[in-house]
Structure 1
Amino acid sequence: MKLYAHPFSSYSQKVLIALYENATPFDYQNLEEPAANAELAALWPLKRFPVLLDEGRCILESSTIIAHLQAHHPGPVSLIPAGDAGLEVQMLDRVFDNYVMTLMQKVVLDALRPVDDRDRYGVMQARELLDQIYLWLDQRLEGRHWMAGAGFTLADCAAAPSLFYADWAHEIPSTHARLRAYRARLLSQPSVVRVVNEARPFRHYFPQGAPARD
């Protein structure tokens, strides 16, 4: 398998965490390299990543890639449980992608625009929604070690990069002790430690400047 990904990309990290959790062998096509970028463009004209190439099949989108890995390259960690538990995990995965990751990117990417083209209202809305989802997640975590319960799942693969970068862009309030503790647990998980360390050389890419922590 080949994975086209960038170490600093939140969605790339989501898939890398899943691969590292199960020690799944793969060929890392780091998109810092021009040759990897050229191959990605030939596979997927939008050039969004990550992209998995497996025996000629081109798999797009992080959640689908992780589902493909579980179906075709299963390991000891089942990241998408069967039945209703799996439905909850997939729901939470979508929550992190749509209501944490997307909102974080709204705040971060706006800083890359020319000053006259910035969307102050859109960023304000994104920050307000982040405050709301932080509260919801904090309440949801009551009595839970990982996001969907006792086991590490797809939901946690999505949560780790989402909360890592979201807290940089719009800090989780100190009043949300459960959510802050959960973020800390994620950052101590070996698979997450690995992706965070792999991304360290690229922290200068963060438009607002990476904080001196984590």
Structure 2
Amino acid sequence: MLLYDHPLSSYAQKVKIALREKGVPFVAELPEGFGTGQGDGPFAAANPRTEVPVLIDGDATIFDSTVILEYIEERWPEPPLLPHDPAARAFARMTEDVCDTQYEAVNWGFGEMLWFHRATGDLARHLREQAAAQTRLLQDWLARRLGTEDWFGGTGFGWADTAVAPMVNRSVHYGLGPEPGTALARWHARVSRRPSVAATFAEFDAAAAQMAAAADLYTTGGRRREYRDHRLEWMIRSGGIDVVRDGLRDDTIRFSWPGSA
């Protein structure tokens, strides 16, 4: 089984956590041409959006991290990640959706400043402050959903924990983690000790350590960062419309498939 992956991708991380929880062996591979948006080759054939993750299981090729999670849950139902109760399942899916949209966009935006230096001076400071404030709001929301439980699914690790873990861990890496001693901070420490998560986080840490060397590829046009949906919304609403204009001018950003004719 092949997983097209980038260790920094929060979407790919949640898929790897799910596979590891279920004991499913896989080979993770960084696709050739990743980050260029090129429309040919096996990666583009597997996913025209040229986004990770993509899971190839025999004749089945699946993209979009949520669809992949659903496939994994149906293909290998034990141990289950989704609870049996319909309301609890909806709770888990809503938690995942907010993480995949609003939370991922905030993390991504902060990374644009930290790793790719999309802005400098006052604008960079403003965008970092916006990301920090929004991270606190998102973590407060997650803390309320966690409540007094050990896991987002209640007594056992589950679907929502799989989705939340990469998002909160990236915030911790950025220095924007939950306040020490809070329930969400204790949850992060707990989830980080889980073998499936620990292995995935170790891969993230190793890749993050290389980002300074790779950043030039994204600022010179060798690779182009994808400004899509919630990411683009975040950058504009947070005051970074000049970042978008500069990226279009310098051809260092791209939008999702299908591109302009």
TM-score range normalised by the length of the shorter chain: 0.7 to 0.9
Given that 2:109 and 2:131 are in contact with CA atoms closer than 8 Å, whether structure 1 keeps it comes out as yes
Write the distance in 2 (CA, Å) between the matches of 1:64 and 1:170: 31
Question: What amino acid is aligned across from residue 89 of structure 1 in structure 2?
Answer: A
1:94 corresponds, among 97, 115, 124, to 97
**Residue matched to 1:107:** 110
Which deviations, in whole Å up to 9, do the C-alpha atoms of 1:145-166 show, x marking residues without a partner? 1112112111111111111111
1:80 corresponds, among 78, 82, 91, to 82
Shift of 1:110: 3.0
Shift of 1:4: 0.8
Structure 2 unpaired stretches of 5+: 36-40, 213-261
Shift of 1:79: 1.0
Given that 1:147 and 1:156 are in contact with CA atoms closer than 8 Å, whether structure 2 keeps it comes out as yes
1:65 corresponds, among 65, 68, 81, to 68
Question: What amino acid is aligned across from residue 185 of structure 2 in structure 1?
Answer: R
Coordinate RMSD, CA, aligned: 2.5
**Residue matched to 2:29:** 30
Deviates more, 1:116-125 or 1:88-97: 116-125
**Residue matched to 1:139:** 144
Which deviations, in whole Å up to 9, do the C-alpha atoms of 1:39-76 show, x marking residues without a partner? 212322321100112343321111210111111232x2
Given that 2:7 and 2:13 are in contact with CA atoms closer than 8 Å, whether structure 1 keeps it comes out as yes
Write the distance in 1 (CA, Å) between the matches of 2:172 and 2:28: 28
Question: What amino acid is aligned across from residue 82 of structure 2 in structure 1?
Answer: I
Shift of 1:114: 4.1
Which deviations, in whole Å up to 9, do the C-alpha atoms of 1:173-194 show, x marking residues without a partner? 5366111101101100110011
Question: What amino acid is aligned across from residue 78 of structure 1 in structure 2?
Answer: P
Q: TM-score, normalised by structure 1?
A: 0.83
Shift of 1:126: 2.7
Given that 1:4 and 1:52 are in contact with CA atoms closer than 8 Å, whether structure 2 keeps it comes out as yes
**Residue matched to 2:4:** 4
Question: What amino acid is aligned across from residue 3 of structure 1 in structure 2?
Answer: L
User: In the alignment, does 2:18 pair up with 1:18?
Assistant: yes
Write the distance in 2 (CA, Å) between the matches of 1:44 and 1:159: 24
Give the number of the structure whose alpha-carbon radius of gyration is greater: 2
Which deviations, in whole Å up to 9, do the C-alpha atoms of 1:16-41 show, x marking residues without a partner? 00000000133x2410x649994212
Write the distance in 1 (CA, Å) between the matches of 2:211 and 2:28: 22
Write the distance in 1 (CA, Å) between the matches of 2:188 and 2:177: 10
Deviates more, 1:33-42 or 1:84-93: 33-42
What secondary structure is seen at the aligned counterpart in 2 of 1:115?
coil
Which deviations, in whole Å up to 9, do the C-alpha atoms of 1:111-148 show, x marking residues without a partner? 31443696655443332211112222223322211112
Write the distance in 2 (CA, Å) between the matches of 1:36 and 1:22: 28
Structure 1 unpaired stretches of 5+: 208-214
Write the distance in 2 (CA, Å) between the matches of 1:113 and 1:198: 23
Given that 1:134 and 1:176 are in contact with CA atoms closer than 8 Å, whether structure 2 keeps it comes out as no
What secondary structure is seen at the aligned counterpart in 1 of 2:209?
helix
